[in-house]
Amino acid sequence: MLWLFTVVIAVLAGIVAVTALAIVVVRLSRRRRQRTLARLAAQPRRALLAFVAENGEEGGDELVAIPDDAWRAAEPHALALLGKLRGEAHLGLVSVFLRRGAARTALGRLRSRSRVRRARAAQVLGDLELRRAVPELCRLLTDRHAEVRVVAVRALGRIGDPSAAWRIIAALDRSDPVPSLLATHTLVQLGPEAEVTLSAALDHPQARVRAVCLDALGLLGAAGSVKRIARVLSDDTYLDVRVSAATTLGKLGTRSALEPLSQALRGSRPTPLRAAAARALGDLGAAAAVPALVEVLGDDAYQVAHEAAHALRRLGPAGIDALREVVDGEEAERSGAHTRFSGAAAHAREALAMAEVLRGERVGAAA
């Protein structure tokens, strides 16, 4: 028995020593690698800076001629710069990448067996905003791994080719969909040309697709779709979709949205929808919404009353006056100083105070 212990102790001591040594070795080798990289990258980084500062007019050949190992060392900086530039400087830097064969390599790697390599390649193609990579990136939207699909969606957004819209929508309609907010953002990046596709997808059987398309239409300012969206608001079977429709109508800001939104504010509707409708009426900016909002100020549901009060605040003078009226009416009624404000007046007071502060912020800062 004891000999076993002795052996174990010896083995343990050995492993402890090896681990301690490994810490030292890892640190030494990392430092050496970093020094080498820094040395290699120094010259290319200077050249890069000069190149983009001159809007990519001079020094391109010099960058293309940089040996591969030195370029690899400087590549993270170059990619980082890419995201911070636009105009000729950006185009110039992209052309350097293309002339160095970065696009070809990345396109090839999109079919790599390693998911990390596929994702990295998609990221690079997005950074380069390479239009001809769109079909290949769309193919990646059905990749087996969620993380690859996510990078592909982001890359497609950077590139901004509206023809990708329906493929992105399709990527939402699966059991493990791409994240909704990411898809929305990407669809918005595709620009107004994607509107037709988005509007058509409002009849999609998958609720998630409808919600995303609504959000994207709102951010794109697709005023032409108001009628269709109003129909979704009143008829859709999914609450989340109807909430999205209300929010979108608020963003689009046309008068024809007033009626359907006021309908959605009615007491029989679910609370989240009513809150969204109240908020949207505030976004809409139509003074005609004031009576409907005042009516729900005293609502039992906190969210509804809260949103209504702040919507009134955002409606400007007409809304503010209505809020003040509610507070004044209450104050006149109160007999003692200690009675609490009712729900409606409390929410109105809060909104008025916020309006005061926000006004002060503008005036004070401008002075």
Instruction: Indicate the Cα dihedral angle 163, 165, 171, 174, nearest 10°.
Output: -120
CA distances from 233 to 107, 245, 250 (A): 43, 5, 12
> Under the criterion CB under 8 A, does residue 86 sit at the interface with other proteins?
yes
Residues between 142 and 171 that touch other proteins (CB under 8 A)? 146-147, 150-151, 154
**CB nearer other proteins, residue 202 or residue 212:** 212
Q: Which stretch binds other proteins (CB under 8 A): 196-204, 226-234, 281-289, 358-366?
A: 358-366
> Under the criterion CB under 8 A, does residue 350 sit at the interface with other proteins?
yes
Q: What are phi and psi of 264, to 5 degrees?
A: -70, -15
> Shortest distance, CB of residue 154 to other proteins, whole angstroms?
6
> Under the criterion CB under 8 A, does residue 349 sit at the interface with other proteins?
yes
Q: Which stretch binds other proteins (CB under 8 A): 81-89, 134-142, 256-264, 316-324?
A: 81-89
> Under the criterion CB under 8 A, does residue 182 sit at the interface with other proteins?
yes
> Shortest distance, CB of residue 134 to other proteins, whole angstroms?
18
Residues between 203 and 222 that touch other proteins (CB under 8 A)? 215, 219
- Close Cβ partners of 321 (under 8 Å, ≥ 6 residues apart): none
- The label of the residue with tokens 């040594």 reads 21
Q: Which of 87, 205, 317, 336 binds other proteins (CB under 8 A)?
A: 87
> Under the criterion CB under 8 A, does residue 174 sit at the interface with other proteins?
no
Count of residues engaged in binding other proteins, rule: CB under 8 A: 73
Closest CA to 136 of 127, 126, 146, 145: 126
Q: What are phi and psi of 66, to 5 degrees?
A: -60, 135
**C-alpha–C-alpha distance, residues 161 and 138, integer Å:** 11
**CB nearer other proteins, residue 15 or residue 65:** 15
Closest CA to 216 of 200, 235, 234: 200
Q: What are phi and psi of 113, to 5 degrees?
A: -80, -20
Site mask for other proteins (CB under 8 A), range 5-44, x = bound: xx-xx--xx-xx--xx-xx--xx--x--------------
**CB nearer other proteins, residue 332 or residue 363:** 363
> Under the criterion CB under 8 A, does residue 335 sit at the interface with other proteins?
no
Instruction: Indicate the Cα dihedral angle 144, 145, 146, 151, nearest 10°.
Output: -110
Q: Which of 131, 142, 302, 326 binds other proteins (CB under 8 A)?
A: 302
Q: Which of 123, 262, 263, 271 binds other proteins (CB under 8 A)?
A: 123
> Under the criterion CB under 8 A, does residue 223 sit at the interface with other proteins?
no
Q: Which of 38, 65, 80, 223 binds other proteins (CB under 8 A)?
A: 80
> Under the criterion CB under 8 A, does residue 81 sit at the interface with other proteins?
yes
**C-alpha–C-alpha distance, residues 194 and 168, integer Å:** 11
Q: Which of 40, 47, 52, 220 binds other proteins (CB under 8 A)?
A: 52
**C-alpha–C-alpha distance, residues 289 and 280, integer Å:** 10
> Under the criterion CB under 8 A, does residue 100 sit at the interface with other proteins?
no
**CB nearer other proteins, residue 54 or residue 295:** 54
| Residue 38: both structure tokens together | 């820094």
Q: One-letter amino acid identity for 319?
A: G
CA distances from 127 to 99, 308, 339 (A): 15, 43, 62
